[in-house]
Amino acid sequence: MAKIINTNSPEEREERREERGKRREERGEGRGERGERREERGEERGERREERRKERREERDSVVEDGELSTVCYRPEGLDQLLQQTKFTRRELQILYRGFKNECPSGLVDEETFKFIYSQFFPQGDSSTYAHFLFEAFDTHKNGSVSFEDFVTGLSIILRGSVTEKLNWAFNLYDLNKDGFITKEVRYDVYVCVCKHVFSLF
């Protein structure tokens, strides 16, 4: 059997060992650089998450002012628009919105819920019919529900509107058929409703 003779000199073998060692070092340096890049990307993601958390905290702080309960941290959409459309201040809108969301977490009030809430203010009388008229007046979009925007816009007219605005709103309230007229029959229905509602208070 032939014997394999290694003809490489010791110097050549040493050079090859050095080359292999260099390649290992280069691969190790490459892995180190990739690890550093991963760490940098992780730090960047952490900074972005912290910035987003900070923005959310600032947004909540802008709604929940000093001395207020922070159990409800909702912010109504279009708050600046409501400031222009109504005669309420930002502070008043925030308080109204908290009360609205506490009673109606979904953000919408159907007629039955509206009647129930209204009846709490007049527990001794029959307020269901009058509450129906009010609901119809607040439901400006005629979709069977009242949003916060619907509610606060109507409330602004009732409390702080001009005489003309209040008269128009009241006419819409008593125009049950929404035909632009208040007939004798409608006046009678409203009269009976108001009597049931008001006389029960005495």
Residue 142 shares a structural domain with residue 48: no
- Do residues 196 and 101 both lie within one domain? yes
Asked if residue 72 belongs to a domain, the reply is no
> How many residues in total does the chain contain?
202
Domain membership flag for residue 89:
yes
Give yes or no for residue 178 having a pLDDT over 90: no
Q: Which residues pair with 85 in a beta bridge?
A: none
Place of tokens 């900070």: 54
- 110 by Cβ neighbours in 10 Å (0-12 / 13-18 / 19+) ranks as middle
- In this structure, is residue 193 part of a structural domain? yes
Same domain for 147 and 176:
yes
Count of domains observed in the chain? 2
Domain of residue 40 covers 34-63
| Gap between the Cα atoms of 82 and 50, Å rounded | 31
- 181 and 121 co-located in one domain: yes
Same domain, 89 and 143: yes
**pLDDT band per the 50, 70, 90 thresholds, residue 67:** very low
- Whether this prediction's pTM lies above 0.85 is answered by no
Instruction: Write the CB contacts of 54 (distance below 8 Å, at least 6 apart in sequence).
Output: none
CATH number of the domain enclosing 122: 1.10.238.10
The answer to whether residues 133 and 177 belong to one domain is: yes
% pLDDT > 70, the chain = 75
Residue 114, token pair as written in the block: 């509206």
170 in the same domain as 102: yes
Whether 165 is covered by a domain: the verdict is yes
Q: Is 40 part of any domain?
A: yes
111 in the same domain as 191: yes
Pick the range with the lowest mean pLDDT from 23-32, 50-59, 142-151, 165-174. 50-59
Residue 16 lies in a domain: no
**Quick one: DSSP state of residue 176?**
T
169, part of any domain: yes
**Residue 153 — φ and ψ, nearest 5°?**
-65, -45
